[in-house]
Amino acid sequence: MPTPHNSAQPGDFAKTVLMPGDPMRSKFISDSYLEDARLVNNVRGVQGYTGTFRGVPVSVMASGMGMPSMGIYAHELYSQYGVENIIRIGSAGAISDRLKLKDVVAAQAACTDSNFAHQYGLPGIFAPIADFTLLETAVAAARDLRIKMPVGNVFSSDTFYDASNSTMKWASMGVLAVEMEAAALYMTAASLGKRALAICSISDSLVTGEELTAAQRQTVFTNMIRIALETAVRIGSR
């Protein structure tokens, strides 16, 4: 049944959904990569499409910005639409000098300053991690595509404008980049027994101050998209 945030019908989504944050990036991916794609959701302009890539059903739908938004859409896809795999494909800011603009990074785990895990009533601190099957598949896909993709920890922040100016402190613990959704996705997947992975492209650097434009963020992250689609095909073919 449709949800308050999703007008799709049962069966409209593939088992694997790619989730950019930006609805326009969702449309770009559908138009550029999927065959026979159709719009299955457009509630609040959060566009979702389902088509095929090399014959394998794949969906792409935006998550919006931040962990509350990701938590809503991921939960509904997993629990109401039979989705098994969500691959976040979004932007991130480099906090390591190992990463340059347009580099791709896979989030093996996601530190966070969010209180998202409080809802689960756990007697300690939960460590949000990626699903290993998705991660190893993506690593193999990147290798076969000859795309360099560092794997490591990211920081999922609840704030974009950090009044404390403390984000760079995470770099001292080897964290590679900062973004705003992966931890919520990983926790939602864990709570529902599903699989999740975040693959991010570097849109700006807190180390150098460089950044891409909003238009560039919509269309230039092709390596990240290629890895995610190849991962979806390999998972879907098993």
- Known catalytic residues are 204
Is the Cβ–Cβ distance between 22 and 218 less than 8 Å? yes
Residue 200: both structure tokens together: 């991010």
Q: At what angle do helices 23-33 and 222-236 cross, to 10 degrees?
A: 70
| Residue 169 burial (CB count, 10 A) | 12
Query: What's the alpha-carbon Rg for the chain, to the nearest Å?
Result: 16
Q: Where do the H-state alpha helices sit in 98-221?
A: 132-144, 182-192, 214-219
3 state SS of 104: strand
Contact between 35 and 51 under an 8 Å Cβ cutoff? The reply is yes
Please check whether residue 3 is in contact with residue 76, taking contact to mean a CB–CB distance below 8 angstroms: yes
**Residue 69: in which H helix or E strand, if any?**
helix 67-80
> How many residues in total does the chain contain?
238
Spatial separation of the C-alpha atoms in residues 230 and 89, rounded to whole Å: 13
Residue 140 token pair: 């193999």
CA distance 182 to 168: 18
- C-alpha distance from residue 19 to each of 9, 100, 152, 170, 199 (Å): 18, 23, 20, 25, 10
